[in-house]
Amino acid sequence: MSAAHPVLLKVENLTKHFPITKGVFRREVGSVKAVDGISFEIRERETLGLVGESGCGKSTAGRVILQLYPATGGNVAFRGEELTRLSTEGMRKLRPKMQMIFQDPQDSLNPRMTVGSIIGEPLEEHGIAKGKASRERVEELLQSVGMNPKFTNRYPHEFSGGQRQRIGIARALALNPEFIVCDEPIAALDVSIQAQVVNLLEDLQEQYGLTYLFISHDLSMIRHIADRVAVMYLGKLMELAPSASLYREPLHPYTQALLSAVPIHDPLKEAQRERVILMGDVPSPANPPPGCPFSTRCPVAQEQCYYELPELRELRSGHQVACHFSK
Amino acid sequence: MQHTAASPVLEVKDVVTRFRTQDGMVYAVNGISFSLNEGELLGIVGESGSGKSVTMMSLLKLLPMPPAEIVSGEAHFEGEDLLKLDPNKMRHIRGGRIGFIFQDPMTSLNPVLTVGYQLTESLREHLKMPRKVARQRAGELLELVGIPMAANRLNDFPHQFSGGMRQRVMIAIALACDPKVLIADEPTTALDVTIQAQILDLVKRLRQELGMAIIWITHDLGVVAGIADRVMVMYGGFVVERAGVKELYSNPKHPYTQALLRTLPDMDGDRSERLESIKGQPPDLHHKPVSCPFAPRCPHVFERCLQANPLLESVADGHELACWWDTATGEAKP
């Protein structure tokens, strides 16, 4: 479906290193390689899922793409326009097109602002609507996320977690964006509320032709929502494939282990499945292993893996893997 | 594993716990009864606010009182009623005969004490072990939970361990005095899936080796599917359904359990299908529960559900349900 659509966002060799400083003069003694050279494209109306465990750099990647952190290297092009070289003012003009939905609706909504002013702020800030027009737009937005438009004078604490996330979504929609980075938007919600929010995001995508970068650690939800999935580990992409193909035939040993670790809500299937239990923990991104980042935990690592970094290569149509031995 | 014939090690009857807050009373646990059999793993599943943690905290007397009040209930363990024990005796049981693990290993370990100290503390306190013996045992415990080079790590502080390793330390502390019952409250929720898989694997192994009974509290239906013998589903401070693990997943009867299982996306099957969602919001616990807690969100709701709360009743062998609706006939119960 999405192949017909033009590329909306192109990320090339993006890196983000956070310096580690020491002493009074804050001498730089090393860096945390949070994002270490990732490349992918997202087409219009597509949902790209970005999965990985905590500390793999998926959230940092989302923020660097939106230029919330300056990139250390690499390029991000939005409709062909290079974002990393834009001035603050130039970026400000583009901001309405690119929005973000955060994980914790508790922390990302100002507790002292009413729902009306939270959602209306971007409208006034970007000079889109004021006064009555702004109020009407806010009511319309509340309605589109399935909330009562009369709630504009209430405060965030008066709402449940799921409702607060809807307010966060309404705020992100206020400026008619084309692209939204959803950073773990359902991780803080109760199971019975997660499906509501995911369905809402899917409806809105359909209705407004949105493009999503959906960051999550929840592999079964990603399978449901994403058209294509990128698997990240220690700042690098391990595998990038259409959702169906990735879950049917994961090619990277890390993806295989990750998928086998997801608990299935069926005791019969649980009893039958074979688990790959990984040894040890994720190495520190300040000091990643030379060679393949997964080599320290990989059940099939060979000598080559410890010194030579595997490149992403396309093994099936649209299915890329960074492993020397995947076939 | 079926443990239906085994004798209960812990028998809980009609526990009611409330919180007296500035905004009025919060009805957190509204009459929970269950029994835990020897060597059994009982999964307690519920969302936040379902009362699953408060129930366990009530049994262990870990709730600050006030604001909490244990209004009524009994909890029989080794011939004594936990809810009537004086604080001193309770201290001996907590961390001794009943071990527990909490969700976040960082906040439940003391950051300024070494792991060795925290492990030996309970051994010396509960089992009156001399220092040297306790230290030796602490090393063995760390090895038991799969910490590499265990003996060398006793002098390390919690921050020197990763999240998964810290949870292993917590498990080692909980197991230190060879407990009869282990209560684990969302022990893998803060962990990544690959680390969660390691911990689940560890718990399965420890169960076989040590044979204690476990209460596993979680919001994740997937996690309990793999490890539990029986599962109890909680909602709004009530038990709404309880059954053997296979029965519950293959034949869920409560509309809440059914809906919950349907909202979860599959790892196989049709991807493009729309997720079923449960409409509405979780219950507001400020209201005294007089009707079925799930009634406002239930697809089968009818008059009676709003008038009285259904009691937990046996509907099949080992399968209990609290619902006015009979899913088998599709009609209201007589």
- Mean pLDDT in chain B? 85
Interface size between A and B, measured as CB pairs under 8 A: 123
For residue range B261-312, list pLDDT tens digits in order.
Answer: 888 887 777 776 788 888 887 888 888 888 888 888 888 888 888 888 888 8
Same-domain status, B23 and B53? yes
For residue range B252-264, list pLDDT tens digits in order.
Answer: 989 999 888 888 8
Closest residue of chain A to B250, computed from CA coordinates: A266
- For residue B68, what pLDDT band results from cuts at 50, 70 and 90? confident
Q: What would the two tokens of residue A135 be? A: 């109020």
Residue B321 lies in a domain: no
Question: Residue range B149-177: average pLDDT?
Answer: 83
- Out of A163, A192, A258, the one facing B263 most closely (by C-beta) is A192
Same-domain status, B132 and B257? no
User: Would you say A170 and A145 are in contact if contact means Cβ atoms under 8 Å apart?
Assistant: yes
Count other C-beta atoms under 10 Å from residue B278's C-beta.
25
Domain range spanning residue B128? 108-176
Q: What is the pLDDT of residue B334?
A: 63
Hey, which of A1-15, A299-313, B142-156 has the most confident mean pLDDT?
A299-313
Question: Residue range A122-133: average pLDDT?
Answer: 86
Res B245 pLDDT > 50: yes
Order the strands of the B181-185 sheet from edge to edge: B98-101, B181-185, B213-218, B41-45, B230-235, B238-244, B319-321, B313-316
Residue B71 lies in a domain: yes
- For residue B159, what pLDDT band results from cuts at 50, 70 and 90? confident
Residue B125 lies in a domain: yes
Residue B102 lies in a domain: no
- Out of A198, A219, A224, the one facing B271 most closely (by C-beta) is A224
Q: What is the pLDDT of residue A209?
A: 92
- For residue B4, what pLDDT band results from cuts at 50, 70 and 90? very low
CA distances from A83 to A16, A66, A75, A235, B8 (A): 15, 8, 7, 20, 65
Please classify residue A202 by burial: count the beta carbons closer than 10 Å to its beta carbon, then call 0-12 exposed, 13-18 middle and 19+ buried. middle
Q: What is the pLDDT of residue B47?
A: 86
Q: What would the two tokens of residue B31 be? A: 């009459």
Q: What is the pLDDT of residue A14?
A: 93
Closest residue of chain B to A163, computed from CA coordinates: B281
Same-domain status, B241 and B140? no
Residue B19 lies in a domain: yes
Question: Residue range B130-139: average pLDDT?
Answer: 86
Q: Say yes or no for a CB contact (<8 Å) between B196 and A193.
A: no
- For residue B94, what pLDDT band results from cuts at 50, 70 and 90? confident
- Mean pLDDT in chain A? 89
Q: Say yes or no for a CB contact (<8 Å) between B246 and A54.
A: no
Question: Residue range A46-70: average pLDDT?
Answer: 90
- Out of A54, A199, A220, the one facing B264 most closely (by C-beta) is A220
- Out of A163, A191, A282, the one facing B260 most closely (by C-beta) is A191
Residue from A197, A264, A294 whose CB has the most chain B CBs within 10 Å, to mutate: A264
Res A46 pLDDT > 90: yes
Residue B226 sits in a domain of what CATH number? Answer: 3.40.50.300
Res B3 pLDDT > 70: no
For residue range B165-177, list pLDDT tens digits in order.
Answer: 888 888 888 888 8
Residue B301 lies in a domain: yes
Sign of the Cα torsion A76, A81, A82, A86 reads negative
CA distances from A194 to A161, B43, B134, B279 (A): 10, 22, 46, 11
Name the least confident of A54-58, A123-127, A187-191. Answer: A187-191
Same-domain status, B250 and B118? no
Q: What is the pLDDT of residue A182?
A: 93
Same-domain status, B50 and B163? no
Residue B2 lies in a domain: no
Q: What is the pLDDT of residue B327?
A: 65
Same-domain status, B155 and B289? no
Residue from A266, A270, A279 whose CB has the most chain B CBs within 10 Å, to mutate: A266
CA distances from B272 to A158, A161, A304, A326 (A): 34, 26, 40, 28
Same-domain status, B154 and B238? no
Q: What would the two tokens of residue B234 be? A: 């909680």
Same-domain status, B171 and B89? no
Q: What is the pLDDT of residue A32?
A: 87
Q: What is the pLDDT of residue A77?
A: 93
Question: Residue range A291-317: average pLDDT?
Answer: 91
Same-domain status, B35 and B61? yes
Q: How far apart are the first and last CA of chain B?
A: 35
CA distance B11 to B77: 7
Same-domain status, B27 and B172? no
Enumerate the residues of chain A whose CB falls inside 8 A of the CB of residue B193: 53, 217, 219, 258, 261-262
Enumerate the residues of chain A whose CB falls inside 8 A of the CB of residue B276: 195
Same-domain status, B301 and B248? yes
For residue range A155-201, list pLDDT tens digits in order.
Answer: 988 887 888 888 999 999 988 899 999 998 888 788 878 888 898 89
Same-domain status, B152 and B286? no
The verdict on pTM exceeding 0.80 is yes
Task: Give the count of domains, chain B.
Answer: 2
Residue B21 lies in a domain: yes
User: Would you say A218 and A226 are in contact if contact means Cβ atoms under 8 Å apart?
Assistant: no
- For residue B11, what pLDDT band results from cuts at 50, 70 and 90? very high
Q: Say yes or no for a CB contact (<8 Å) between A265 and B47.
A: no
| Residue B83 one-letter amino acid | L
